[in-house]
Structure 1
């Protein structure tokens, strides 16, 4: 016979609801990790998300109760969300749209502890919008920031943004990268690794440098900038090969450019073997217009693969001195930095070592759960209770 673990935070078990929207892979993976850690500490967790997210991330397998909720503001979806929240001590939404839906669902709802149900919102990224749509997003951000008891930003840029939008309490809360995926290369690339040789052979990069980019093919990921930079190494012998893993709306346009400009670039499509691709690569390139806490940057540094990235958002805060950073939009600087690194194996080795050291200092999944749980305790502590010292 098994027993439920005693709550590490005291009193009766907290009942929490985690709300996901469409959910990027990073935020959904974070909720999966958070649910598992909270359940292990005696917290009751309900995850409201799409069936696709449950299938991909297995919230139920982590010990959470899964409630199917559409990521829209339709009456049926909002009714399901409100029903899931009716007995919650605290609701934690992940992302702007999830935060908006949660704030509406909680309107007028009284928690089992007698007061309003506290809402915590984690901002994992920011919306990339222009024109009239940007104004709508600005208003949404204001409403969500002001509705939350606490806004957690995964990088300082997002914390500052929440404060600018009127958050009463905004805090830095870096999200831990999940444990290394099977097949990764925690020790970094090795020239005599048969699996690495096989991957490079399949890509056509046996006797040429291999550059890797991973991310959705959308305008904000900066792949056009990468293609501009690729012209700089067309004259090299052998030509470096740039492999781009990911799918998205820009695929056809990028492929047309690659074909018409005869660029040494391959679009790999969606790949589930990113650790193997990392192990095969000489460099990882991240040309994004903005990143909060890039998953591929974290995976590259952890695996000891040198990284060249644009100096935007939370990237500098994440990588410190363990990567080469260039100004966004400067294809010449990006190309020059890549070429300099390809010509300097000593510098590449130094970056690989620095990357692993930087990654060792990032918060662990346990650290992330502990920080979030301390926020929950603070918000659900009965009035007049003194926190233990």
Structure 2
């Protein structure tokens, strides 16, 4: 697919508010693919996000814009969007700021919802107001799951569609260590020699379901050898989780944020995803690609994403989570079956090239000159 005009390259602005790792990696991949197709791309994102994801290295212009809705930040974003043929914002907060910045302009606004907001009480009510504002302001809302598309329609979106979103490949060179040597090396580092290794990855926040995971870990203490649960991530619940682990003497290690999630998964026997709601979980995708059996909650976009290639349990049910893990540890045949199903399921997901092609088709549709009536 080619840009709208061969004489004047399409100019797009991608807006990130800092976002999570998945949305930031998606924008980096999208920017590289669009630039390769002749599109001029500007990425508006906080300076630290630009440094981490190297948007300039993808061929895009990076304009540092703070993650803030104060008038100065909105004015900077408005200036960066001046002259753009189309603006594409990612995530709720970035989309809200972009809607403010484009107020009074006729520039098409595409919004991608990568996940839903996780908050209760007054903050949850406030975020739902933002969702409605964004849904009504956007020309098109792209949802990464069918549930998010339905949510956008319920909140007033004029046009909501399912997005093709790939799992971007690593930007750095692959590890050169022999996989057969890397696995025992990682397991030794984590303290999982001669025992099963269970991996969970994600920010230490309430909606991730780590309280349920710790409840389930009690049931695994009767197993011999005793499984080790490694939780990679950082967040506000770290101290609370640490206290529970110490007080209840649970076989769980908090290892903080890690950049080698692929290596951790390669060393793992089972991946765990116990959260209350997940959209297009990067961990689920990485686990299936890596042929690691996955136990996840049947919530949000997970069933749609993994199909029959994972053990799915109800959210909040520690007994069901514990039992699913025990069954897998005791049944090598079931683990092998999930590995094979996971590889087949992963092959059905969109590639980076297909993701860029779909997005560019939306851009072309929204910027194509309309015939005179």
Q: Normalising by the residue count of structure 1, what TM-score does the alignment of the two structures yield? A: 0.92
Q: Deviations over 1:257-300 (max 9, x none)?
A: 11111111111111111111111100001001100000011000
Q: Is the Cα contact below 8 Å between 1:302 and 1:356 reproduced in 2?
A: yes
> Is 1:300 paired with 2:296?
no
Tell me what 2:48 maps to: 52
Counterpart contact for 2:3–2:364, Cα < 8 Å: no
Which digits, 9 at most, give the CA deviation of each residue in 1:285-339, with x for residues without a partner?
Answer: 1001100000011000000000000011000110011001000000000000000
Question: What is the aligned counterpart of 1:227 among 214, 217, 234?
Answer: 214
Q: Secondary structure in 2 aligned to 1:269?
A: coil
Structure 2 segments unaligned to the other structure (5+ residues): none
Matched, 1:178 2:171: no
Q: Deviations over 1:148-167 (max 9, x none)?
A: 01000000110000000000
Q: Distance in 1 between matches of 2:227 and 2:20?
A: 31
SS of 2:319's equivalent in the other structure is helix
Q: Does 1:350 align with 2:337?
A: yes
Q: Could you give the per-residue CA deviations for residues 333-371 of structure 1, whole angstroms, max 9, x where no partner exists?
A: 000000000000011011011111111110000001000
**Deviations for 1:199-236, whole angstroms, at most 9, x for unmatched residues?**
11121211111111011111111111110000101011
Residue of structure 2 aligned with 1:151, choices 129, 136, 141: 141
Q: Which residue of 2 aligns with 1:210?
A: 197
2:15 aligned to 12, 16, 19, which one? 19
In structure 2, what is the equivalent of residue 113 of structure 1?
Answer: none
State how far apart, in whole Å, the 1-side matches of 2:40 and 2:254 are.
43
1:137 matched to 2:127 = yes
Task: Give yes or no for the alignment of 1:240 onto 2:236.
Answer: no
Q: Does 1:362 align with 2:349?
A: yes
Residues 155 and 174, structure 1, Cα contact 8 Å, conserved in 2: no
1:108 is the counterpart of 2:104? yes
DSSP-derived class of the 2:111 partner: strand
Q: Does 2:109 match 1:122? A: no
Measured after TM superposition, the shift of residue 136 of structure 1 is 1.3
CA RMSD of aligned residues (A): 1.6
Deviation at 1:183, TM superposition (A): 4.5
Match of 1:168 in 2: 158
Q: 3-state SS of the aligned residue for 2:255?
A: strand
| 1:340 aligned partner | 327
Shifted more, 20-29 versus 326-335: the winner is 20-29
Kept after mapping to 1: 8 A contact 2:306/2:345:
yes
Instruction: Quote the offset at 1:180 in angstroms.
Output: 4.7
Q: Report deviation, 1:237.
A: 1.3
Question: Separation in 1 of the partners of 2:3 and 2:155?
Answer: 34
5+ residue gaps in structure 1?
1-5, 110-115
Secondary structure of 1:22's aligned partner: coil
Match of 2:365 in 1: 378
- Distance in 1 between the 2:198 and 2:264 partners? 10
Contact 1:284 1:306 survives alignment (8 Å): yes
Distance 2:3 2:72 in 1: 36
User: 2:69, 2:240 → 1: CA distance?
Assistant: 33
Cross-structure match for 2:184 = 197
